[in-house]
Structures are given as C-alpha cells and as structure tokens.
Structure 1
C-alpha cells in the first residue's frame, strides 16, 4: 500500500476566468479568498450580504503533481476523497474521471489509466448548487423552516451541510472546496476496507472481542491477517488468520475472536476513567505487511434503556450496567468554515465541556458528521455522543430513488467510520421533523409536505435499517424529539421518549415554567444571550453598538431574539445603564434560565434522566443560545454549568408565599456519600439572621434526595422578601463541593448594597495569576475582567458572601506584569449592571 498526498497548495479560479489565487487543501473557497485578500472578513458587520455571490459561482481547483513509475507499477491506483463540497466534476490530464453530489461521503475513482509518470494535472470543478436545488424544488416543493429570513430555499434538496445555507444562529455562507484530505492510494494484492469490532461482556472478569476484517482482494488465498491488541503499549492478546480458505472474490472477510482478561472499563466523564485498547490489524503477504490499520477502542457497554415504569417508559442511558443522568448540550459546527478547525480548538471545546461536568453532547443534524479528531477527543474526555444523521427542520425527497440511494451510502459510510468509538451512544435519524411535523408531514399528499408514509420509509426503514445493519449494538432513534408510545404526533409526551422544550423563549413562558415539566429526557431547550463586549466590538463599528441597530440585529438570526432578551431582562433585572452591561446582563439572564431548568430536572431523577441544553458552541460571532462564544470565551452559562452540572449538587425550591425552602441533594456518583448541609439566612447587608448544620450520612448514589424543609415565614414577615438571602452549602470531608443561593423575590427588587469588592493578587507560574476576591456585603454574580485583554478564568459569575473569599485563577493570552495586571483588573457584580 502506498499513499501519495494531494493536499497542500492548489490554485482556484472562477470558471471562465484566467486569473487564479493560491488555495489550500483541505480548505474552502471563502478561506482561500480571505487569505488572498479578495474579500473582507465575512463576519464583520453585514459583509455576508455582499459575499452571497461566492456561493452562486462555479469554482475550479487545480494543481500539478509529479509521479514516479514506482507508484504506477501497482495493480490498482485509486483517487480517494474523504470529502468534497459538494457538486464536483473531477478531471485528470484532461479526462473526466467522475462526479460527486454528497458532502458527507468518501469518494473513490480508479485513475490508473489516466495517470502517467512525470507531471500530471488535476482539476475539480465545483458547481454552484443554487440552480440544482431550485430545479429540485420546482419538481416537487418540500417545506423548510426559516426561508426568507435565515435560510436559503431548497437547501434541503442537496446532501450538504444544511446550516451552510443559514440557520437561526448562523450566516448564509455557501461554501465549496476540497474539505477533507485527498490522496492517491496504490496497492497490488489487496487492502483492508473496514474493521468491525464487537464486544461481549457476558462473562465476569473478561471481555470477548469479535473482529471482522473486510478486505478488497482477488487473491485471498495468498494472504493472512495478524491482529494484536495492546493496552498502554503492552501486548494483551493476538491472533493470526490464514485466508487460504477464503474464496477468490473482490471482497473477503477475516474473522477472529480474542479475550481480554481483567479488562479496564471505559466510563463517561465523572463516573470513572477512560482507558483504551489499541486493535492493530495487519494484512500480510508472506511475511510482508501490505496494509495495516488501527482502531482505538474502549471496553464498555453503553445502551439506551427503555422499560415500563410507574411514569410510563424510561429513557435512560446505561453504561457498564449503571444508569446515569446525561448532562450536557447540543453541538453545532464550531466554525462556519469548518476547514479552519484545528485539533487544538476541538480539544479546547471538548475539554471545556468536560470541565463543566458534561458527560454527553448531541451532534445536531443540520451540520456535519464531525472530523475523526472530534470523536477521538470525546473518547478521551469521556463525553458520550448522541449522533444525529444530517437531516434537520425540512422535508426530504424520500420519493426520489436517486436521493435515497445516495443517503444509503452516506449513512453506511459514516456508521462504519464512527462505530468503534466508545463515545458513540445513540444514532438518531433527524432533528425535529416530528417535533414540528405540522410544517413537513401530512397524512395525505399535499404541496410542500412529505407524507407520513414517505417519512417512515426513509427514517424508520432505510436509515434505521442501515444503522442497525452496520451497528446492531447501539440503539437507533428516528427523530429528536420523538414519542415512542401513543400518538407520534405528540413529540413531547412527558411519559416517554425525549423532548424539545421551547415554551420558555419561543413561548415566552416564565423561567418557573421549567419546574412544571416532568419529561423523561430533555434533549433541547435554551435561552439566548449576547457575546461579551470584546466579541461584539469585533463585528461592529462604534456606531452599531446599540442592540436595536441594523448590524446588531443582523447578528441576531432569531426573529424574536433581541425582543425576547429584553422582555425577560425587564422581568428579572433592573435596566442596565450601558451597552456593555446589557451584554453582560444578558449572559447572567441566560444562566438563570438554564439553572432553573437543569436543577429541576436533576431533582426529578430517575423520572427524568437527561438534560442537554441548546447549545454549547457558535459558528460565528453572534447573539445565540450558546454557552461558549465563537472565540472560545465561556459565557456566564458555561461557568454556571460548572455548578449546576456538578456530580454532587445542592439545590432548592423556594415557596415565596409560605416562606419555605425545600433543600435537595443530587448525587450522580456511583456510590453513596456522607455529607453535611450548612445553611445560612442573611440579609442583603450580610448580617446573619439564622444558621444551622445538618449531617446527612447517606446521600444515595445515582439519585436525588430531599434533605430538609426550612421555614423562614417569620423572618420574611419581619424583614420582607427584598432583604433575605439563603446561602446553602454541601460539605464532604470538610470541603465545600456545592453551594447555592435562594432569594424570595426576583433579583431586580433585591435591596442590594455596593459589595465593595477587593482583590489580592498573586503571580503564578506560566503567566497566570491567582485573584482572591472578598466582599464587604453580599455580591451576586461576581465576575473579574482584565480590561482589553483576552484571558481564561477558572470561575466567574459566582455569589460571594462576606467573610468567604473566592480564589479565581486567570490566564491572560499575552504576558503581563503584576503591575499591569493590577491596573487592568476590574471586579463586577450584578449591582454594577444598573449602578454607575
């Protein structure tokens, strides 16, 4: 086997033009134009509108390459594309060798007859997708959301990233290019096409591996396969398979069974370690290795458990026989131009998820099947993946045989590519086709709609069947949200399945509405905020910095967005006194909304067993539902998630009318915990009015426990609701592992004092600083800020009680002296949003 990499430097031009510009492969035309300074930053102000022509143009990528005869002496020479975006015609040395029409597939072409020793040329024409999708819509129109506001009509008619044509959090930047690696692959006798590894955990103290190696060969009798399994570099087990008894055919399968004694199991984040085993497969001709591949696996069982219970039917994930509460968020492409993503940026985001105690991400169905490195990192950090297939918020052409055939290949390829990853927990057919079925599905044929028969054929039959064929160990779920019992047209049935709960935000219900929800698994719900001032400044001019300006509304793709943020803000908070403080306050508001939801659903376990908020990340700088902005800054929500997703959580339900506080402790760990609950009633000046400490010797594993009911009716009568705060702490082994704050009135009416925040600063190694923050009076949602300097912070947006300092570690992106750091450090809290 010999590989010849065709990535690197290419040239690109408009079809019909002579002038070319440098291009990078993998890459896309937008980034090539940007690097050549042919366009301005697409994300600045409304440049996007003046760059729509890019997606309406045919582009030609080309390069020359030199081959020596040794590569051409192989029996087979294939041109292999791991990803083309999207309608491509490939030409080598003037001869057309093939066409492609699916961004999500791998494409291979036999090109030996077209190559020569010495210099060769390759050209790839990427056709403008607009005429094709418009022609398909004219044949039979299929509805999609957001047309005329944030999505281009017809984008559901092509197998390409749906959000590439816009979404209610993303721009309309229709890309083209060679977006994943390209190479020539030369071989003689045979090659390994695929390795499929299944696990048998039925015997205690051992795991059986069944390994199927699929080969492409016409001479199986001349080959053998050697399989080794290693753990941390040490050989665990091995075997060799003689293929001489295989019939001579274009495809052969080698199968082997191996046993791992005393296996080390893989666990999700927070439940245990993530050890790996390396399965190496070598294809041998005699003693010569002619091809090889390696798969890194984790030993575990990970299933979706649905069984009848007292509330209906469970929906819970079970790892290694242990049910666990799924905590996390939804993932979208992390850049509009996904080819800009680096391993370092992927790792930053996945580590940020793990640092906030996530154990699951849902890869949403309107983006892409992520790069291999994404899943490798999720394996490493213990982040389970709910994997949507790439269909979202649209009708699809189930009536078209060519479309369905294309989809079949797409699903098979991606399932086989990803199924060895221990992080993959579930395959899901689509996003929200059932949730908003009134827009896409009808019982009888109607213009714009799929029929339910067409829908079930595609998503239950075709896609579900292929997923089960190639990965029978994992569950398949046809849609999110989906109700498996009763009426399928009731997608948020609280007795079963998963739910998308948008009554807060889209429905304008108050945050308290979340506490009425009794759903089994909450896979989407969310609330928007603005990015921080430095990010907003990156895409606006000074005159744009009012949230009702044209540019600020351009960077808000939800039609109700800014209006909803302000409406809720006025319900909960005092009106901010500056543009910057409005941005910060929107983040606090977002965190409050999600805290109401998540804490309630964690208290509801085991009835509810999962909560994935919308959304974790952004693809450009924008107002959105994200908890981490496009540039990687944690919003207030992500900092708050560190607390409300903590393995041990103390939380409360206050009754403002009766003056009671019901205290709960939620334990996600696999073992019970002995803890101490400490509560303090204080006024808003910081004066302690009452306090107590309660031992709780057995906080049950994997459960929520109501620990006490506190009655403050007399204090409320005496002090009034505006002056009282209840501070809660959970201590384990004399260490505070969780804390919370209860108030009896919305924050806008609390009688807060200037907390008079102070800081002691210590310089740490590697350019970091320890900032110890104290308050004279209670301070709510405290956040330090290094003025004008990008930095990461260990914690922000926390509550501070007098006498209880909090240490925050700050790492500026550039080197700073202690003196400069002290000068630029600002300390803010809620009161600063409305007091100068």
Structure 2
C-alpha cells in the first residue's frame, strides 16, 4: 500500500545571515513575522514597510535523509500540493525541476536520492517583468504585473486588498512511497438517471512494472463494482438505486455518499482514493425569450433565483485559512440566507475544506478560473500552464455536488470591449483563446455534467455587448462609481453577478488595525485602509444624497456609512427579486475581506458582521415583503421563494413621523410557492410630503416607504428606553426610531448581536440578543446604540 509521510517540519527560511524556522504550509511573510523580522502588515501603514519582501528571492530548506528504495517500496516521490509561485527545486545540489504555477501540484521521483532539499523561490515581480519584457505590454485594471504569471492576482493588491506579493510552500508537501502502481488520477462523473444515482470513475494509474495485472474496485452506497485496468487506465461504473438527491439549502437535504476506490494487484491493495459525492443534476437555462437571453440555474429540475455572494480569499496569506475558518465564514453565509457562493477569479481554487463545507451546508459554488481584470498573454509557457492547471483543478473539484458552474474569467471580455484594451493590444493575444477555446474544451472533455460560461459579465456571444443587462450575466458598477443606489431600480438585468456599496469595517476592527490613531474619515491609517480609487469621495457623495454628511463626528460618520451600505443592498435586491423570473439571481459584492479595510464586504477582515450582513438575512429570506414606486404608482410585492403558498393579510398603514395613523387597509396576500405576488397600494394610502410614510406588515415581515430622502424627513428626536434582557437588551420606542443599530463590538470586542438595523414605531419594542458580552450594563448598551437623527 502506498505510504505518505508529511514533510511539514524541519524547514528553515534563508534570510541573509539568519535562518529562521519556516512553517510549511506557509509563506515568507508569515515566517518573517513569526521571527520578528517584519511587522504585521495589516496594522497601521506597515504594509508599505514590507514591500521589499516581494522583490527578493527566498529559499526554503530541510534535510530529507536517505531516500533509497526499501524492500517494500520500489519508488519514492516528492509531492508538493502547492508552490507559490516560480521556484527551482533541488536535492543535495541536484536539480529536480522548475515550477511556475501557484495553482498546480507537482511530483518528482526522488528514489535512491538523499541529502538537503532546497526550494528556491524567484521573486514574482522578477518573473512577471521578464515575461512582460518577452511578450510585450498587456493592459490591466491595475499597474501591477499580475497577468504575466499563474499566481493569485490579488496578492498584487486590489481595490479592497493590500499589495503583499507572497512566496512559499503554501500547501502541504509529503513523500509518497509505493510499488507496482499507484492511482494517478480519478475523474468522477456523478449523475442521476431516472431516480438512480450513477457514478462513473475513470482511473489513471502510474506503474513501475508495466506487465502487472491490475484491477480497480469501487464502493458507494452499499454498491460494489470492479473493472480491469487496461494499460494506464480503466473505468468502473456503479448504479445506486433510490439514491437520495442532494439539494441546495432551502430546497431540501444534502445527503452525501462515501466513495472508495482501491487499486488492486491480485487481492493486495496498492493504493486507495476516497471522496464524498452527492447525486443531483444541474443545468443553465440560457434560452432567448421576450426579455433577452436568460441565465437561470436549474438544479434537479427546479429553477432557482440565486441568492448569492462573491467570495475572495479570506486572507491575503491563504495558507493561514484553516478548515475551521472556512466553516465559520460559510456558516455565516448560510445563516444570512445565501445559497450561492461565487469564487472570484482574482483569487485561487480554494482548498477541499471550502468545498466540503459548501457540500454540507447546501451552498452552490460558482467557480471562476483564475483570471481577472486584465489582458492575459496566450503564448507559451503560459498557455500550457493554463491548460495543465485547468485539467488538474477540474478533476480535483468534480466530486463536490455544491460545484454547479465553471466560469472562464472575471471582467476580461468586458474589459476588452469597453476599457480601451482592443486598440492598445493591436492584435496581441489577450485571453480570448482561453475563455472561448481552451477552458470550454477542457470542461467539456473532463466534466460534461456541469455548465460552463465564458466570463462574468458575458452576454453569451459577441453579438451583444458583454455587459448587456438583457443578456446573460451583468456587473452593475456604474451605480457605485457615479450614481445613486436608487438607480438600481431603473433596470432588470437577467442575472446580477456583481454589485455593491462600500462601508468601513466594525469600529473594533478599525481600532485594532490602527492602534493609537485618532480616527477620522481622512486620518492617515483610515485612508491607507481604503484601497478604492476615490473611495471615500464616492462614499461621501453617496451618503450626501440621503443624509447630511457629519462634520467632525467619526462615530456618526461610521454609523451612517454602514447604514447606507445596507440601504444600497436593499435597494438592489428588493427590486431584482421582485422581478423573478426575468431576473434569476443577485450575487452581492462581496461576502468577506482578506484584511481590515473599508470595502464592499458584509463581513469585515476580523470576521465581524456589518449591518449589511444582517440586512441580507431579510433580503435573502424565503419570503420578502417590499414597497416600491412603479410606473408612477406605489406597489407592494410579496416574494415567495419557499415551496409553500403564502396566504394571509397584508396591513398597510399611512403614518406621520409623529406616529399618527393617517389611513389603514387590510388586503389579501396570496403568493404561490416560488412566485412573486404584487399589487398597487390604494391611492388614499400613498404618503404625501416629507412628514408621511407607508408601513406594510404581514406575518412578522415589514416594509417601509418614505417618499423623500432621509435628509428631508423631519424626524422627531428619537426617544427610547433600554433594559437588560436575558442574553441581550430590550429597546422600547417612545417615538419613531429609524434604523436602530446596536454596535455590539463597542460593548466588548468579542460581542456579537443577533440582528442589525430595525425601525420601531412608537410603543414598539425589540429584544436584541448579544453573545460574548462579559459585563452587561444599561449605560454601555445605550452608548452603543445608534439611529437616524433629525437633520441639523
């Protein structure tokens, strides 16, 4: 049987005359921090103090000892699951090979060798600049040369991320000793055929003895089958009667089946492969219709409105992301009502831990291939690297039922057409051959069970603009960059794959990241942790359309910016969900952050939930109630994404800001499962002028409509009572209290609230659960409560 020996210990990092211990998996930055050589680049402006690290070459070393083949094993392989990025590997001075792709694994035959193992990493900058020198300039959204090598693009910085260009052995390394043959690859095709689960396992083997007769034996769901290995491969098929179907969360359960495949020489097991699979079907409906060209995911025959979030690497040093951290972040997503996670193309193919958690939680995965916001050369050796990494990762991720879509790139087709690339390239290669050639060919050959789309955004062909909202996927960024978020309501894209609004992280996250700094919107550290072009300017212009921008009151500025982010998300999602099935999904930019920063994230770099996160719980719930102006009239809409019909009474109240009910009506609400019901609001209940608003209530859900921006509403001075409650606080309103928010981290750095923004009418109360609050008291609770106040 193949034996694997981990090689995580005993490494050193060559740094001038010192040789600090190195962690494997890990990277140069984390090793230098552990040794006290560099400061934490997440704090203050120390990111700039460590920029030199990415410009140097680095060497990892350790002793391997004698690797002579024993009697029991004919061959010994040195296996790296991930090297970041360009490296020369040698053993006792003997070259083993050169690698140049962070997204691949590597294997070297070291049978009979011994001595000191050395992995010398060349600066990613040096390699990228050398490739650029050979192939010529390629345009990109950022000045850094990330498009010239196969490395996590956002390690070169992004409009939410620091520039920390890493190097290191970022995934596990081991020795594998084996004889006769080993399993080189298993490609599982998992389908459902008229209620029967079908698993087809295509097996590739590597041999030391070509004549040895081999078989493979597979088991799944109590079914066992064998097949002969013919030369270097074989196929074994299994049918599982009455297989339970895997569903996305909210649509059913997530049964998973253990699959085991053994490679046999006679009855002796030489190697074993184990995974979990789920039985389900997935299609992408892109048929043209009266509204354009659709983009609707269909799982097990059920058409879905995708309630999605974009995922970036959860740490700029991805080797630090543990299985527990993946699970925590993805459980946060599921708890917010999310059912789809898009793994964005400027990052990585995530570890098995990520996809395992998605399988278990019922989170659909949209997987980008790692290309983002740049023209990518297609010449060799890059072209060969792209195909090799695609082949490896398609097969690696195929067992996961959560994976439902392959996507060729992020914004590159759009960039070619709209960002001035086409004339600048003057005929040079830019990546189209990958997105419309190599990648769909690889997916069609290896994983025909899943759909592929060439990019996001992408209209389906060059007959339409790549970002045409009527065709395929759409990225809505004009709103954040130039317009008011109310303008989300001006169009109905077929699928909104990116949209978002910024806000600062939680107060305690900022305080930790900027120790000793007097916080202000334009203080040095706050500006350093804002990476978007004119980010604070866009924040303040966006706020000024709705609120008076606070002058000199950071706490008030911080609250209003977080409120405005939640309002922006609500404006888009409420509108687009109400237009199902024309619009078939929203994917918020973004779920998470990779460090403490002002960004579009719902969960900040320290893992704290912003108000947007809690707002997503409402926006992505199976049932959503909304009020909106349409065709010159106010309309209510009841979005019912559950399978059960929603029938009840909708109470509409026209009210004054002083709390007086000016008119009221009860109307029938009836929304069949998986549909949207809508009707006009009686004209006599339509609020008139700045002092009036409309409240809609149904079965514990509420929607509000104010006809003017908050800055024009004559809110009363908010009055409310605060009392301690078991595991939280109770707030009782004495006036209208608009968008009350408990910033729990101000009570205790480890405290979390179970809800975000809430509007209370006079006499109403709410209990906010708080966990992690070590010494509860009313005074501190009141000081951590914020709400909308009258414009001064």
TM-score, structure 2 length as denominator?
Answer: 0.95
Partner of 1:694: 667
Partner of 2:119: 124
Residue 449 of structure 1 and its aligned partner are, at CA, apart by: 5.7
Partner of 1:419: 398
Partner of 2:161: 170
Residue 825 of structure 1 and its aligned partner are, at CA, apart by: 5.6
Instruction: State the alpha-carbon separation in 2 of the partners of residues 75 and 832 from structure 1.
Output: 76
Match of 1:287 among 248, 251, 267: 267
Q: Does 1:806 align with 2:786?
A: no
Partner of 2:500: 526
Instruction: State the alpha-carbon separation in 1 of the partners of residues 121 and 742 from structure 2.
Output: 48
Q: Does 1:750 align with 2:713?
A: yes
Between 1:378-387 and 1:670-679, the stretch displaced more is 670-679
Match of 1:213 among 177, 199, 203: 203
Residue 824 of structure 1 and its aligned partner are, at CA, apart by: 4.9
Instruction: State the alpha-carbon separation in 1 of the partners of residues 732 and 667 from structure 2.
Output: 27
Instruction: State the alpha-carbon separation in 2 of the partners of residues 816 and 202 from structure 1.
Output: 55
Partner of 2:255: 275
Measured at CA, do residues 776 and 20 of structure 1 come closer, stay the same or move farther in structure 2, by a change above 3 Å? Answer: same
Residue 455 of structure 1 and its aligned partner are, at CA, apart by: 3.7
Q: Does 1:724 align with 2:692?
A: yes
Instruction: State the alpha-carbon separation in 1 of the partners of residues 649 and 80 from structure 2.
Output: 59
Equivalences for residues 300-379 of structure 1 within 5 A: 300-379=280-359
Partner of 2:19: 20
1:178-213 Cα deviation digits (max 9, x unpaired) = 00000011110211222222234331x322322323
Between 1:800-809 and 1:57-66, the stretch displaced more is 800-809
Give the aligned length.
787
Instruction: State the alpha-carbon separation in 2 of the partners of residues 434 and 68 from structure 1.
Output: 49
Instruction: State the alpha-carbon separation in 2 of the partners of residues 395 and 680 from structure 1.
Output: 54
Secondary structure, aligned partner of 1:385: strand
Q: Does 1:789 align with 2:757?
A: no
Secondary structure, aligned partner of 1:112: coil
1:289-346 Cα deviation digits (max 9, x unpaired) = 2211111111111111111222122110001001000111111111111111112211
Partner of 2:219: 228
Partner of 2:542: 568
Partner of 2:580: 605
Between 1:210-219 and 1:385-394, the stretch displaced more is 210-219
Contact 2:183 2:273 in 1 (8 A): yes
Partner of 1:625: 600
Instruction: State the alpha-carbon separation in 2 of the partners of residues 54 and 33 from structure 1.
Output: 9
Measured at CA, do residues 710 and 355 of structure 1 come closer, stay the same or move farther in structure 2, by a change above 3 Å? Answer: farther
Contact 1:430 1:478 in 2 (8 A): yes
Contact 1:206 1:261 in 2 (8 A): yes
Secondary structure, aligned partner of 2:677: strand
1:15-40 Cα deviation digits (max 9, x unpaired) = xx331111110000101111111111
1:234-284 Cα deviation digits (max 9, x unpaired) = xx322233x2xx44x3x222x222222222211112111111111111222
Contact 1:761 1:822 in 2 (8 A): no
Residue 543 of structure 1 and its aligned partner are, at CA, apart by: 4.5
Partner of 2:675: 703
Equivalences for residues 154-193 of structure 1 within 5 A: 154-193=145-184
Contact 2:596 2:606 in 1 (8 A): yes
Measured at CA, do residues 23 and 715 of structure 1 come closer, stay the same or move farther in structure 2, by a change above 3 Å? Answer: closer
1:134-173 Cα deviation digits (max 9, x unpaired) = 12222333334344xxx42x22111111111111111110
Instruction: State the alpha-carbon separation in 2 of the partners of residues 622 and 817 from structure 1.
Output: 29
Secondary structure, aligned partner of 1:529: coil
Gaps of 5+ in 2: none
Instruction: State the alpha-carbon separation in 1 of the partners of residues 402 and 250 from structure 2.
Output: 14
Match of 2:737 among 776, 779, 782: 779
Measured at CA, do residues 225 and 140 of structure 1 come closer, stay the same or move farther in structure 2, by a change above 3 Å? Answer: closer
Contact 2:407 2:455 in 1 (8 A): yes
Secondary structure, aligned partner of 1:369: coil
Partner of 1:766: none
Partner of 2:613: 638
1:109-156 Cα deviation digits (max 9, x unpaired) = 1111323xxxx4211111112222112222333334344xxx42x221
Partner of 2:569: 594
Q: Does 1:511 align with 2:485?
A: yes
Partner of 1:140: 135
Residue 454 of structure 1 and its aligned partner are, at CA, apart by: 5.8
Partner of 2:519: 545
Contact 1:335 1:618 in 2 (8 A): yes
Secondary structure, aligned partner of 1:469: helix
Equivalences for residues 407-446 of structure 1 within 5 A: 407-438=386-417
Contact 2:216 2:236 in 1 (8 A): no
Residue 466 of structure 1 and its aligned partner are, at CA, apart by: 1.1
Residue 827 of structure 1 and its aligned partner are, at CA, apart by: 4.8
Gaps of 5+ in 1: 231-235, 764-768
Partner of 1:830: 787
Measured at CA, do residues 294 and 779 of structure 1 come closer, stay the same or move farther in structure 2, by a change above 3 Å? Answer: same
Measured at CA, do residues 559 and 338 of structure 1 come closer, stay the same or move farther in structure 2, by a change above 3 Å? Answer: same
Measured at CA, do residues 743 and 71 of structure 1 come closer, stay the same or move farther in structure 2, by a change above 3 Å? Answer: farther
Measured at CA, do residues 703 and 486 of structure 1 come closer, stay the same or move farther in structure 2, by a change above 3 Å? Answer: farther
1:664-718 Cα deviation digits (max 9, x unpaired) = 011112343323322222222222233333333x4122222114423246762xx
Measured at CA, do residues 538 and 442 of structure 1 come closer, stay the same or move farther in structure 2, by a change above 3 Å? Answer: closer
Instruction: State the alpha-carbon separation in 2 of the partners of residues 332 and 132 from structure 1.
Output: 25
Residue 544 of structure 1 and its aligned partner are, at CA, apart by: 5.0
Secondary structure, aligned partner of 2:389: helix
Secondary structure, aligned partner of 2:26: coil
Contact 2:413 2:432 in 1 (8 A): no
Contact 1:667 1:703 in 2 (8 A): yes
Instruction: State the alpha-carbon separation in 2 of the partners of residues 194 and 68 from structure 1.
Output: 24
Contact 1:146 1:167 in 2 (8 A): no
Residue 447 of structure 1 and its aligned partner are, at CA, apart by: 5.0
1:36-84 Cα deviation digits (max 9, x unpaired) = 1111110122211121110011111112245687757511111110000
The alignment's C-alpha RMSD in Å is 2.3
Contact 1:395 1:441 in 2 (8 A): no
Instruction: State the alpha-carbon separation in 2 of the partners of residues 210 and 57 from structure 1.
Output: 47
Match of 1:458 among 405, 422, 434: 434
Equivalences for residues 187-202 of structure 1 within 5 A: 187-202=178-193
TM-score, structure 1 length as denominator?
Answer: 0.90
Secondary structure, aligned partner of 1:300: coil
Residue 788 of structure 1 and its aligned partner are, at CA, apart by: 4.7
Instruction: State the alpha-carbon separation in 2 of the partners of residues 83 and 810 from structure 1.
Output: 41
Measured at CA, do residues 441 and 834 of structure 1 come closer, stay the same or move farther in structure 2, by a change above 3 Å? Answer: closer
Partner of 1:499: 474
Partner of 2:558: 583
